Amino acid sequence: MKFYSWSLIIFCLFWCLGCLPLSAQNKVSKISVVGNQFVKEDGSKYIFRGLNTSDPERLDTMGRWNEVYFDEMKKWGANVVRFPVHPTAWRRRGEMKYLQLLDKGVKWATERGMYVIMDWHSIGNLKNEMYQHERYETTKKETFEFWRTIAKHYKDNPTVAFYELFNEPTVYNGELGTCSWAEWKTLNEEMITIIRANGGKGIPLVAGFNWAYDLTEIANNPINATGIAYVSHPYPMKREKPWEEKWTQDWGFVKEKYPLILTEIGFCGPEDPGAHIPVISDESYGDAITKYCDQKDISWVVWVFDPMWAPALYTDWNFTPTRHGVYFKKAMNDRKGK
């Protein structure tokens, strides 16, 4: 009788553990910056390879911001997902309702052992508040308020490992006015101050000019903050082949001192829907960028897990991979655990 009782208790305990939310079973480790590496709590380095979602508000409107979507990203081999929050979508949905969308995404990512990059997805000149398209319209105040909100809301959540301060700074060949590196540096340092004063423990990510491609200014005038990382978006047409030496000159040298994450990479053929400068290329770009990152422990995130935004990773809501998708699905799965 005693044996039966203890057996029943043990059975019930295991059954209850199985019923716990996956977040309780697969708690992600806090990520920190040590030297030029991202590291887990046990001190081991961690390389991020993952996927960009399209805007969560858009996906929710389509009925696609759900667990099926996150299951598929996990199947593709992602260990990180980037949420591009467009300022116009943030205003349209409203802060509280948009945070509810993000909360769902963070929960689903946690349950699948994936980290999250929160990305304020604007393109243009924040100093002058002039932008490439109306969907990117924001103000300095709104941008600062966004990061205050995110810092407070996710300050103790290790899944939200990164705060990407501004997607793609550019003056668009002077059409959006001017912004010096010193001015951009000051804006980023202000955002980092706000995040940390409001308890944000994630890693701030800082992008350079030329649509987040160029980090050359870092060599002589880095951001005055510790525990941060830098971002580049080295699409194939930003430079001509051979790429590697130019990449090192433009952004790769940063990895000698600081962590580096390429939060947008990808390619499509000239015949593919939505093909545009600077993303047109082929698998030779995929081979070059992944090999380059492997050699230097550089993390990367592929644009974009959506059938309509370009370069699209799949063609339909059965998640049928495009040529671009076939390449990076294999690239991520081949590197699992490495």
Torsion, Cα 107 111 113 116, to 10 degrees, reads -10
Question: Is the model's pLDDT at 191 over the cut of 70?
Answer: yes
Q: Mind giving me the DSSP string for 208-261?
A: -HHHHTB-GGGGTS--S-SS-EEE----GGGSPSS-HHHHHHHTGGGGGTS-EE
Q: Tokens at residue 320, please?
A: 């049928």
> Which residue from 53, 125, 126 is spatially nearest to 89, judged by alpha carbons?
53
- Residue 14 in domain: no
- Residue 15 in domain: no
The pLDDT value recorded for residue 248 is: 98
- Residue 172 in domain: yes
Length reported for the chain: 338
- Residue 252 in domain: yes
Expressed in angstroms, the distance from the first to the final Cα of the chain is 50
206 and 241 Cβ atoms separated by less than 8 Å: no
Provide CB contacts within 8 A for 300, sequence distance 6+. Answer: 48, 49, 50, 261, 262, 263, 265, 289, 290, 293
Domain that holds residue 306: 35-334
Question: Is the model's pLDDT at 24 over the cut of 60?
Answer: no
pLDDT tens-place string over residues 36-58: 999 999 999 999 999 999 999 99
Tell whether pTM > 0.95: no
The number of domains in the chain is 1
pLDDT tens-place string over residues 263-295: 999 999 999 999 999 999 999 999 999 999 999
Q: Tokens at residue 194, please?
A: 């706000």
Question: Is the model's pLDDT at 3 over the cut of 70?
Answer: no
Q: Tokens at residue 77, please?
A: 């081999």
- Residue 229 in domain: yes
- Residue 197 in domain: yes
The CA distance from 205 to 160, in Å, is 12
pLDDT tens-place string over residues 50-105: 999 999 999 999 999 999 999 999 999 999 999 999 999 999 999 999 999 999 99
CATH at 326 = 3.20.20.80
152 and 198 Cβ atoms separated by less than 8 Å: yes
Q: Tokens at residue 113, please?
A: 């052992």
pLDDT tens-place string over residues 291-300: 999 999 999 9
The pLDDT value recorded for residue 173 is: 87
According to DSSP, residue 45 is labeled B
The CA distance from 37 to 43, in Å, is 10
- Residue 4 in domain: no
- Residue 45 in domain: yes
